Amino acid sequence: MAYSYDPQNIFAKILRGEIPCDKVLETEHCLAFHDIRPQAPTHVLVIPKGAYVTYDHFALEASDAEIADFARAVGQVCQQLGIQPGEGGPGYRAIMNAGDHGMQEVPHLHIHIMSGRKMGHLVAPA
């Protein structure tokens, strides 16, 4: 079954400039911005500019250039935020939700980068 991408999702609107965002970083293929409802003192989302719904969609269909850019953008965001544990930062949690069981709200691939407090256990009871 093919992925169907909804061009009216909120992140597509942010990418088109129809809705503002608090930008952290922009690269050729990615945009990073602060989450509007942060669940930690630092909560940044990194998204590809391409029309990908989930990580598996992206990993299977994006170009090597897009995938490399996404991976580097995440690294650059961590660097910019000063949260890299290997560089004296406090560390972070990175999460990508997908679909119904992943409880994904916005159907455009995004990775949550959260820091500034201990995140607790990985999975809370539903």
User: Which residues are part of the catalytic machinery?
Assistant: 110
Are the CB atoms for 38 and 115 separated by under 8 Å? no
Instruction: Find the shortest distance in angstroms from Cβ 39 to ligand 5GP.
Output: 7
- Considering only 90, 104, 116, 119, the residue that binds ligand 5GP (CB under 6 A) is 104
* Other C-beta atoms lying within 10 Å of the C-beta of residue 111: 20
Are the CB atoms for 47 and 31 separated by under 8 Å? yes
- Say whether residue 6 binds ligand 5GP (CB under 6 A): no
Cβ nearer to ligand 5GP, comparing 106 with 119? 106
CA–CA gap between residue 18 and residue 121 (Å, rounded): 36
CA nearest 112: which of 81, 74, 86, 60?
A: 74
Instruction: Find the shortest distance in angstroms from Cβ 107 to ligand 5GP.
Output: 8
Question: Where on the chain is the footprint of ligand 5GP (CB under 6 A)?
Answer: 10, 19, 21, 33, 35-37, 97, 103-106
